Amino acid sequence: MAMPKIGIISEDSVQRHRLQRALNESGVEVACNLSPDRVDENWILSRLVQIWLIDLGQEEQYEDLFSDMLDRSPAPILFYDPETPHENGEYDKRWVKRLVDKIQKQANEAEPESTESVGSPELPWDNRVNMDASALSQQQPPELTNKITLPSDLPPRCKRVADHVWILGASLGGPEAVSRFLASLPKSLPVSFVLAQHIGKEFQDTLCEVLAQHAPLRTFVAKERCVVHTGELLLAPIDNTLTFLPGPVVELENESWAGPYAPSVDQVMIRAAKGLSTVDTGAIIFSGMGDDGAEGAVAMAARGFPVWAQSEETCANSSMPDAARDSGVVTFNGSPEQLAEKLTEHVLSEQQSLEESIDG
């Protein structure tokens, strides 16, 4: 029997991500990685997770939640006693192997699922994200709200290779939040974006059209060997992963996104951290369910790139930005409008430094 998809639940965010890495290296796919307070109705009833792994140390503290999961979740539950990792942060390989063997044994004992339908199970919020995009397409684009006056001597951004390329990550509630953010940017700000938005493939073109109406940017789904120009918004495709090359250039790869999310915010950010070192870059995590982007945030911060997040009270669902905050690397939180203002100030400061270095 194939190895099941795992959901990890623990209050310790560092431990969760280390455990996920150890399981991935052992060939186990982790569908979600959550703290107990983010396990809501959608996750309890989700069929995306085939076995839950729950930190035994939190059994008493979250007894009501875990009892509810035992009663109602379609997936069996395994409680694990967390092993203290070695000084290098890695788990003992024998402990990991015992855990993987337990997972495989549980999967073999579980009642087999019906094979009448094929394909990946739909995320419980997929349709809600798709409806977000469809609803926005019926609305009038908002007026630009950013009140910052740009310097009159900024060079025109048309057909200029980008000096500032920022990553945006979003899921549930993302289309509205990102639209508000983009509408709040000054029209001539010399910046470009790559957006990783969880959404159904059939709705990505709709999202692209919506964002083009709301943003003072040329908006399109990323294409093969695409040079990023100033004033562009590239959407990460659903079917293909992408990587970044010096230029900056976006290159598509003939492989699918790892994990349950498409596109993967983590993968886009991790690859941006490696491939966008020659330009000003950073990442902003917007509204969304789950924790996609948390590992990417750590990767970006490790290379000195800023990571910001939408404030909890302004999110339709704050799980994604909360997970990024739990990693300890988020340096600014705000509403979409506040994030736009912060980015405007950042880009203008970086642009001035760039021009001074050229003059010098």
What residues are labeled active site? 171, 198, 292
- List beta partners, residue 35: none
Cβ neighbors of 152 (< 8 A, separation 6 or more) are none
- Structure tokens that stand for 145 in this block: 């709200």
Give dist(CA 168, CA 235) in Å, integer.
Answer: 9
| CB 333 within 8 Å of CB 196 | no
**For the packed helices 204-214 and 174-183, what is the interaxial angle rounded to 10 degrees?**
30
